Structure 1
Amino acid sequence: MEIYHILVVEDDPDINKLLCRVLSGAGYDCRPAYSGSEAALWAGQYDYDLVLLDLMLPGLTGEEFITQLRQRKTMPIIVLSAKAGLEDRVNVLKLGADDFIPKPFDNAEVLARVEAQLRRYRQFSGASGGSVLTHGDLVLDKDSVTVTAAGKPVAVTAREFHILTLLMEHPKKVFTREQLYQQVWNGAYMGDDNTVNVHISNLRSKLAKASPTEYIKTVWGIGFKMCD
């Protein structure tokens, strides 16, 4: 049985201990960190399969930690915070988080969200025959979970990688927001276009920083596809 390694970043010792106990009880290996600076240190020295992250931290804030980590790594980040307003949630998704759980949280929900993120990440980072997808000068390597545009590396989140994989595997297909949500989030679509739009916008911005080429086209009134 594969053991997954999770970095738990929470400055409240009691909450950190609770999360580690719950996750360890489910078979995960946990490393506690009590500040953003400590978390950055551990993330730089070791590879983790997932990060569970509070936002209001001493040292680096959660937002600063996400920004730094996304320059180097693509593992899922689940934010768990009392800063649960719409603006806060949208902001961390734009920065590169994959999911958001508001405090106070339910232990069962945390475990379910962790399991879902790891399952989705492993699905797209596991062995796939070294399959490489290309679209012009955009290259996606399923095996190494890397993306390059015009030869420059693009740091994407697990969900952004999943979205881009779907689009590049079917470059002629127009995906509706509902189809993307159902396949990437593995859940029933509740008409929340904003969730999909934020991830598409974030992905476009990252690609644009590497290359002036437009890769993802909006088909107005329908959804998204790769540009011809």
Structure 2
Amino acid sequence: MNNPIHILVAEDDSEISRLLCNVIKKSGYIPQPAFSGTEALLYLNQRQWSMLLLDLMLPGMTGEELLQRISGQNDMPVIIISAKGEPQTKVSALRGGADDFITKPFDIEEVSARIDSQLRLYARIAQPVLPNVLQHKGLVLDRDTMSVKADGVELALTAREYEILALLMSSPKKVFTKSNLYENVWHEPFYGDDNTVNVHMSNLRSKLAKGALGSEFIETVWGMGYRLKP
């Protein structure tokens, strides 16, 4: 089962927002409307998104300001949908971090096609070419044999524990939120109940500590999530 696709729709016109959200739903994705730049930024800080549809003329924080704030910080495609269709506006947005630009009024089928196109492109880019054996300090994970050793001691992990560890080791410097972990390991939408992640993470850390004679491999980044300990 593939991970759910969550798309944030930053559009202050309620009718256009509803239209875009309906198109997203029909494509099998999950939309979330935001009616100001400030509201969109709050949503962006709460979870990992698959895509952002962004109007430029938003109340509060404008679309241009929001794009500047998130440039280089979010690994997701951004499609501008705006009535400001002047060439210089398009060039500025694309150079500022947007992946595509659609001018209002738009054809809804074209919007749907461009959403699918950008998601396919990012899916190809995001596929990491990982080595069969991942290593971090004294921790070794073999993807071929599905085995894990901590300082030479082989550990008996459950499938979920193995997947959590493999995810952390695939990006050792990245902080994974509980939402990131749940949606990548359980392949279901995360609705804020973090007990499942907490229990599995606690069990995994306990097994790692016993196998490595007390060494700590995973650290908690308070208020954010988990990562491998540098």
Q: 1:126: how far off?
A: 1.8
Whole-Å separation in 2 of the counterparts to 1:62 and 1:43: 13
Matched residue type, 1:114? I
1:22 maps onto 2:23 in alignment: yes
CA offsets 1:54-77 (integer angstroms, 9 cap, x no match): 000001100010111114212100
The corresponding residue for 1:11 is: 12
1:6: Cα distance to partner?
0.2
Percent identity between the two aligned chains: 46
Task: Give the gaps of 5 or more residues in structure 1.
Answer: 132-142, 147-228
- The equivalent of 1:109 in structure 2 is 110
- Looking at structure 2, the residues matched to 33 and 84 of structure 1 have their Cα atoms a distance apart, in angstroms, of 22
Contact 2:77 2:99 in 1 (8 A): yes
* Equivalence for 1:123: 124
How many Å separate the matches in 1 of 2:123 and 2:56? 25
Q: CA deviation at 1:127?
A: 3.7
Equivalent residue of 1:121, what SS? helix
Gaps of 5+ in 2: 133-169, 174-230
Normalising by the residue count of structure 2, what TM-score does the alignment of the two structures yield? 0.56
Residues 76-95 of structure 1: pairs in structure 2 closer than 5 A: 76-95=77-96
Q: 1:162 maps to which residue?
A: none
1:128: how far off?
Answer: 2.0
Partner letter of residue 31 of structure 2?
C
* Cα 1:130–1:60 shift into 2, 3 Å: farther
1:26-175 aligned at under 5 Å gives the runs 26-129=27-130
User: What CA distance in whole angstroms lies between the structure 2 residues aligned with 1:62 and 1:103?
Assistant: 15
How many matched pairs?
A: 134
Tell me, in whole angstroms, the C-alpha distance in 2 between the residues paired with 1:74 and 1:114: 15
Letter in 2 for 1:125: A
SS of the residue corresponding to residue 60 of structure 1 reads coil
Give 4+ residue runs of structure 1 displaced > 6 Å after superposition. Answer: none
Secondary structure, in 3 states, of the residue corresponding to 1:122? helix
Residue 129 of structure 1 deviates from its aligned partner by 1.8
What is the TM-score when the length of structure 1 is the normalising length?
A: 0.56
Distance change (3 Å), C-alpha of 1:58 and 1:128: same
Distance in 1 of aligned mates of 2:131 and 2:88: 39
CA distance in 2, matches of 1:46, 1:20: 18
Cα displacement (A) at 1:109: 0.4
Distance 2:58 2:131 in 1: 39
Q: By how many angstroms is 1:121 displaced?
A: 0.4
**Aligned runs of 1:206-217 on 2, under 5 Å?**
none
Partner SS, residue 38 of structure 2: helix
The Cα of 1:130 is off from its aligned counterpart by: 5.6
Query: Bigger radius of gyration, 1 or 2?
Result: 2
Cα distance in 2 for partners of 1:127, 1:108 equals 31
